[in-house]
Structure 1
Amino acid sequence: MRVPPARPPVIRIANGTFYRHHPTGTHSHPNPPLFSNLSFELPSSGAPRNWGIVGPSLSGKTTFLQILRGQHLCFPPTARSFPYLSTEFVPHRLRAATSAIQYVGFDAGNAALGVAASQYLSARYESRREDTDFSLRDFLLGNMEFNSIRLPGEEGVDEKLLEKVVVDLRLETLLDLPVAFLSNGQGRRARIAKALLASPEVLLLDEPFMGLDPPTVAGLSPLLRSLADKASPRLVLSARPQDPLPEWITDLVYLRTDCQVGAMGEKNTVLDGLRTYVRGVWKGGLAEDEMLPVHALGEMGRTLTENGIEGEGLSEEIVNGSARDDQDRSATEPPATTGEPLVEMSGCTVKYGDKVVLGGWSEERDGQTLDGLHWTVRQGERWGVFGPNGSGKTTIVSLLCSDHPQTYSLPIKLFGRSRLPEIGSGQLPLTFWDIQSRIGHSSPEIHQHMPRRLTVRQVLESAWADTFLSKPKLDDVAAGQVDTTLRWFAHELNPGFSSTEVGSAGQQPLNWATEYMFGELSFSAQRILLFLRAIIKHPEIVVLDEAFSGMDEAVRDKCMLWLAHGEEKTYTSGFSKSGSGKHSPMEASVVDSDAARSGNVKVTGLNDKQALICISHIKEEVPDCVREWICLPEANTGLPARFGRLDGPLRTDSKRWREIWAVAKQQ
C-alpha cells in the first residue's frame, strides 16, 4: 500500500530573527531583534496541534502572532515560508498568508467592527439609525459598503456555517442591531464569528476570552474545541500566564519579557520544565532569570474544561496552598463610614424603541413596588458591577459619564444635582464639562477613541483637559504627580526601558514620555496608561470598566497597589527567604516606599471622599476594597437586578464569586 507523501507545513520558520524596522537603518526609537534564531512549524497534516502562546505583559505575544502571519522583517528572508499554501490542497483565494491566516485581536485598534474610529462616544446609545449604521448581519456577511458588488469567483458566506456560528456564539438576537450598539463582549464574539466565516487555514486568536463573562467563555471554548479537533481551522491563541488554558491546547510557547522564547514544545513538557524552574528558585538552588520572572508563573497551569476551571497554578502545586498569602496586596479596606450621595438613580429604564436594555423590571423593596434601576453610590463606597455581556453594564457607565443622550430625561442625580433645571431649587443644572471633570473613567470605549498620536505624557495630562486634544490646565502639584507616575511606571510604559539609564539623582529621565506616542505602546501598556489617567487627579468618582484586562498578574497587582496607596507603598521581592533558608513563593509583602519614609509623597491612593465603581468578569481583576455589588440580569428577562455586600475580597474566596454569578446563571 502506497503511503501518501507528507504535506509541507502551513508555517515554517527556521532560525529566523525579526525586526520592526530594518536593522541597518537609523531610527528614533530602539529597534531590538525580536525572537532571535526562532524556529517554529505549524503542520498541515497529522494529528491536530493547537498552540498556546503564553507570556507576561511586554513579552511580545501579539508580535509573535503577527510574525506567524508574515508581518515584521525576517532575516534571512528565506527563514520564514508558507509552503502548504502553494499546494493543490489550498483554494486560490487562500494562497496568500494574509488571507489563509486570519488574526483576531481585541485591542482598541482592532475592535471597532468597521465603525468609524472618529465616531463620538455617545453614538452607540442613540436610537436613531443612520444609513451607515450597518447591522451585525451586514458585518458578518461583508455588506458594509453602499452598492457593494461581488466579483466573479468570489464566494459568499456558507449559510449553514453562518447559522451554526451565530447560535454557538449567542448572536441570534443581535443580528439586526447596528454593530455600534453592541457591548464590548458582544463585539468580541462578533469578531470571532466573522473570522470563522472566512474558513481560514489558520486562526490566530489574541487573548480570545478577555472581556467575556463566565457563561460566554463556557460556551465559546467548546466551539473552538470542535474546530481544533477537526483542524478546521488550525488554532493558535495567546494568553496571559494567569489565564486557564483550554484543555484542547496541545503545544505551548512561553515567552520571556525580552521578546525571546523561554520554552517551546508539547504542553505538559513545557509546564513540567517551568514547574522545575519555579521549584528550583523556591528551594534556593537556582538563580531567578530576570527575563523569566517567577511571580508571573504563580497561576499558570490551570485548565479550562467543559466543567469549568480545573487544576492549580504552579506555585499552588509547590506549596500545596494559595499561590500568594491573603495579605492585603492590592487595596485597603473601604472606609468604615460613607458620605454624601454622588450618584442617585431613582427608577432608570433605558430603551431603544421597543427594546429595553436596562431597567426593564419591577421589584418589591421596603413594601413598595419600584420600576427600573434604583441605585445610590456614596462617598467612600467601593462598588462592583457584574452581569452577562449585554446586560447593561456599559450603559450604566454611559449614564454616569453623561455620554448617553437619555441621561437628560432619566431620574438621575450626580453630585446632588440634576442634568436639567429644577424649579425652585435655586441650583444651576450640571453641565457635561462639570461631570467629566469630576469623574475618572477607563474603559474599552475610551481606549478605542483615545487619539493614537498623543504622547504618553499628553495622555496622562489630558486628565486635566476638557477633551482628549484640548490644552490641560496643570499647576505645579499636578505636574509633579504626572512626573511621579511616569517614573513609577517607567518599566511598564517605556518601550525602550533600560535599568542602566538612571540619572544622577537616581531617577529615570522622562524624555521618553514625550517621544513615544500612545499608538506605539503595547496593548498592556495602553491599558496601564488609561488606568493611570482615570485616577491621577483623584476624581470624586473612579469608574474602571475592564480596566485591568490585558495585564498580567504582576502588572495588575502593581496597578491595584497604586490605586490603594499611590507611591506610599511598594512590594518587597516576589520571593523571600524564610527562617529555614528556603524561598517561599509569592511571599511579597507591602512595605513603605522610599517616598513615604522620606515624607515626600506626591501621589496618594483612594480616599474616603471618592467612590469606586469597578466592572469586570474576572474576580482577580476586582480590587480587594470592593464590598458593595450589583448583578444585572440579561436584558429583556424581566428579572430585577440583585444587590449584595461582600464580607471580604473577591480574589481570596471563590465562594463569593460563585454567589454573584449563581444569580446570573439563574437568569
Structure 2
Amino acid sequence: MVVSCDAVTVSRAGVTWLPPVSWQLQPGEHWVIRGDNGAGKTTLLRVIAGKLTPTHGHVAYAFVTEHDWEARYRQVRAHVVYLPAHAFAVGQSSLYYQQRYYATGNEDVPTVESFLGDLVEAVRRLGHDHFDLTPLLPLKVTYLSNGQLRKLILLRALAAQPHLLLLDYPYEGLDEPSRADLNRLLEGVVAASQTQLVLTDHHHHLPSFINRTLVLDKPSGTTPPQSNGVLPPVAVAGAPIVKLTDIRLQYGEKILLAGFHWTIRQGEKWVLMGPNGSGKSTILALLNADSPQGYHNQVELFGRPRGTGESIWDIKRRINFLAPELLTYGYANTPRNQPVAAFLQQRTLAVHTEPVAEARWQAMLAWFGLEALWRQTMASVSTGQFQVLLLIKAFAVPRDLYILDEPFQYLDPTHKQQAFRFVQHYLPAEAALILVSHYHHDVPDYVTLWKRIGYESENPPQPH
C-alpha cells in the first residue's frame, strides 16, 4: 500500500464536498478519477495531498513515519506533488488578465528562467523531445500561451521527481498535438522513475500506463441539470461589427501572425482554432481592446477604426468576454468565504457592469441544476462549477459580441451539453459569437463558421 483512504469524507457548513470514499493506491498503479462536476474529484486530490483535512475518516501513507502533525505534513509534501487545475497564476496573485499586453505591468513578473530556478536543466532534459524550452527562458511567464504555461508547470512538477504526482485536469487548454506530447512525456517519466500518477479527467485519451479508474458519485440531494425553454430563432448575418485587415502581431523580433484578415457580422457564430501559441489569445485581445497592438493595425470594431478617439470602455461595454485567464486569476483571488450570490452579483469590467435581477441569476443556475449554490460560499464550488459560474456571468447582460475562449473546460459531458444549449438560448439573435476551442467535440452544431490559424491551410473544410 502506498496511500490509503479509509471512509474519508469532507463537509463544511452542512455542505458535503466529498461523500465517503475508501480507496487504496498500490505500487505500480496509476489512476484516473472521473465523475460529474461537484462529485468531489478535486477535493479528494487535495485530501491526498494533505492540503485539506477530512471531516471523517483517515488517510495513511507508506512514506510517512512521523507522528507529529507538522512533521507528517512535511513528509507528505516531500513525496507528493499536487498540480491543481488553477495552478497557472504561478504564485503571482496580483496578476491581472490583461497584464501580458503591457510592458510596464510586467516588471515584477518572473521570467521563465527565474520561475524554474535550479530546475532549468532538469526541465530541459524532460522536455527535450516534447517542449522547446530555450526560446522561452527570457520571456515573462505572462507572455506564454495557456498551453505553454500549463506544460511548463507540469514539467517543473515532474522535475522534482515526486513519489506521487496528483494532476487535476491536466489536458484542459492543450491542443491535440500537445495532448499527445503530454502523454508521451508522462509515459517516458513513468517508465524511467518510480513516480505514480493520479489524475482527474472527463473524456480525454489517457496515457497507456493508466491502469485503474475511480468513479465518484455526486453527493445525494443535488439537482440534475434541466432542459429549458424554446431555443431562439437563427439570425441572419447583418452589418460587420469586427473587421481585421492585414493584421501583423509582433513581440520584439518574434512575428506571431502576419497578413491576417477576418470580418465578423451581426448574428454570425464563429469558432477560432489554432495550436497553442499561434496567436488566438492575442487576436481576442485586439477585439476586446486589451492589446496596444490594435493601434498600429487596421482594426475596426462596431463600425469605428481603433485609434480615432474611441474609449476602450465604450468598446468593452458592447462585449462579453470569458477566457482561461479569468478562470485562473479569478479563482486565485476569490475569497473562499464569499457567498456565491455575492460573486455573481459582483460587477467587474471583464464580464458585466449593470445590476442583474436575482430571478435571472436563479434561472441561469437552475439551467445547470445548481440553484442550491446561491446559498453557499465559494469554498464549496468545484472546478467545473466555477467554470459554469463564469459562463453564467458572461451571459448576465445582453451584448453585441460574445467572446468565449475555451468556455467548456472542466465540464462533465452532461453539463457540457447543457452549456451548449445555455449559450444558444441566452445568446441574443443579433449578437455575434466567437468560440475558441481545441476540440471539435466542444463546438456546438449551431456554430457554423470556422477560422483556423497556425496550420498549413488557414481555412480547411469544417470537421464533421
TM-score (norm 1): 0.62
- Residue 220 of structure 1 is matched in structure 2 by 182
- The alignment status of 1:492 with 2:370, answered yes or no, reads yes
Contact 1:380–1:608, Cα closer than 8 Å, also in 2: yes
Residue 72, structure 1, aligned to residue 52, structure 2: yes
Q: Which amino acid aligns with 2:459?
A: F
Match for residue 404 of structure 2 among 544, 556, 572: 544
Kept in 1, the 8 Å contact 2:10–2:16? The answer is yes
Contact 2:163/2:194 (8 A) holds in 1: yes
CA–CA distance in structure 2, aligned partners of residues 346 and 440 of structure 1: 23
Match for residue 339 of structure 1? 238
Which residue among 122, 131, 134 is the counterpart of 2:98? 122
Q: Partner of 2:61 in structure 1?
A: 82
Question: For residues 94 and 198 of structure 1, do their structure 2 counterparts lie closer, same or farther at Cα, with a shift above 3 Å needed?
Answer: farther
Look up the match of 2:260: 373
CA–CA separation in structure 1 for the residues paired with 2:451 and 2:131: 25
**Letter matched to residue 370 of structure 2:** E
* CA distance in 2: counterparts of 1:466 and 1:158, whole angstroms: 38
Aligned to 1:100: 79
Instruction: Tell whether 2:32 aligns with 1:42.
Output: no
- How far residue 552 of structure 1 moved from its aligned partner, in angstroms, is 0.5
Written as runs of structure 1 = structure 2, the 5 A alignment for 1:638-657 is 642-643=458-459, 646=462, 656=463
Q: How far is the alpha carbon of 1:200 from its aligned partner? A: 0.7
Which residue is 2:219 aligned to?
258
Aligned to 1:516: 377
- What secondary structure sits across from 2:370 in the alignment? helix
The one-character-per-residue Cα deviations of 1:110-160 (angstroms, maximum 9, x if unpaired) are 21123x22223322123568543322122122xxxxxxxxxxxxxx53835
Unaligned runs of 5+ in 2: none
Alignment coverage as a number of residue pairs: 453
Question: Does residue 133 in structure 1 map to residue 112 in structure 2?
Answer: no
TM-score, length of structure 2 as denominator length: 0.88
- Partners in 2 of 1:624 and 1:413 — Cα distance? 28
Q: Which whole-Å CA distance do the structure 2 matches of 1:211 and 1:467 have between them?
A: 20
The 8 Å contact of residues 99 and 106 in structure 2, kept in 1 or not, is answered as no
How far the C-alpha of 1:238 sits from its partner, in A, is 1.0
Amino acid at match of 1:516: T
Q: Letter of the aligned partner of 1:521 in structure 2?
A: V
Residues 403, 58 of structure 1: alpha-carbon distance in 2 compared, 3 angstrom cutoff: same
Q: Residue 456 of structure 1 contacts residue 516 of structure 1 at CA under 8 Å; is this kept in 2?
A: yes
Post-superposition CA distance 1:445-488 (Å, at most 9, x none): 1223435146433444456x6467x9x5337xx55433432343
The answer on whether the counterparts of 1:93 and 1:99 sit within 8 Å (CA) in structure 2 is no
Which runs of structure 2 are paired with 1:161-240 in the superposition (5 Å)?
Answer: 162-240=124-202
Q: Is the 8 A contact 1:65 1:204 kept in 2?
A: yes
* Partner AA of 2:407 in structure 1: A
Q: Structure 1 residues 522 and 628, CA, compared in 2 at 3 Å: closer, same or farther?
A: same
Structure with max Cα Rg: 1
What is the identity, as a one-letter code, of the residue corresponding to 1:556?
A: K
> Are the equivalent residues in 2 in contact too, given 1:85–1:95 (CA < 8 A)?
no
2:360 to 475, 478, 481: 481
> What is the distance in 2 between the residues matched to 1:486 and 1:49?
38
Q: Write the deviation string for residues 179-233 of structure 1: whole angstroms up to 9, x where unpaired.
A: 1111111111011011011111111111111110001111110111122334531
Matches within 5 A, 1:265-664: 334-335=234-235, 337-357=236-256, 359-360=257-258, 372-421=259-308, 429-450=309-330, 451-453=333-335, 455-462=339-346, 466=349, 472-474=353-355, 478=357, 480-489=359-368, 491-492=369-370, 494-495=372-373, 512=375, 515-517=376-378, 520-565=380-425, 605-633=426-454, 642-643=458-459, 646=462, 656=463
One-letter amino acid matched to 1:162? R
Change (3 A) 1:93 1:492: closer
Deviation string for 1:344-392 (max 9, x for gaps)? Answer: 11121121111122x23xxxxxxxxxxx211110001111100100001
State yes or no: 1:11 paired with 2:8. no
CA offsets per residue over residues 52-83 of structure 1, 9 Å max, x none? 11111111111111122223334667x32222
- Is the 1:256–1:292 Cα contact (8 Å) retained in structure 2? no
- Check whether the contact 1:332–1:624 (CA below 8 A) recurs between aligned residues: no
The answer (yes or no) to whether the contact 1:345–1:374 under 8 Å persists in 2 is yes
Counterpart contact for 2:126–2:159, Cα < 8 Å: no
RMSD: 3.1
- Which segment is superposed worse, 478-487 or 248-257? 478-487
- SS of residue paired to 1:12: strand
SS of the residue 1:374 aligns to: strand
